[in-house]
């Protein structure tokens, strides 16, 4: 079953999972989490948020993609 994780991608350094909640059953739920976070941002940061689809255990999937969990 495919799930969706929200990660932060800095301009320098490795991508990493955001703070919980960070895993969702649908891409729409993950996108809504990104929108909620971005709505509250008052200034621009040197990072952006991204939704990543994965299957299997979260830690294994993130490690395979080079994402810190």
pTM, two decimals, is 0.89
pLDDT recorded at residue 39: 87
Please provide the DSSP assignment of 8-57 as one string: EEESSS--EEPSSS-EESSHHHHHHHHHHHHHT--S--SEEEEEEEE-S-
Write out pLDDT tens, residues 14-48. 999 999 999 999 999 999 999 999 887 766 678 89
């Amino acid at each position: 079953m495919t799930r969706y994780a929200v990660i932060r991608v800095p301009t320098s350094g490795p991508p990493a999972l955001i703070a919980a909640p960070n895993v969702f059953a649908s891409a729409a739920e993950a996108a809504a989490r990104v929108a909620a976070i971005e709505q509250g941002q008052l200034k621009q940061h040197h990072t952006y948020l991204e939704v990543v689809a994965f299957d299997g255990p979260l830690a294994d999937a993130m490690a395979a993609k080079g994402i810190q969990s």
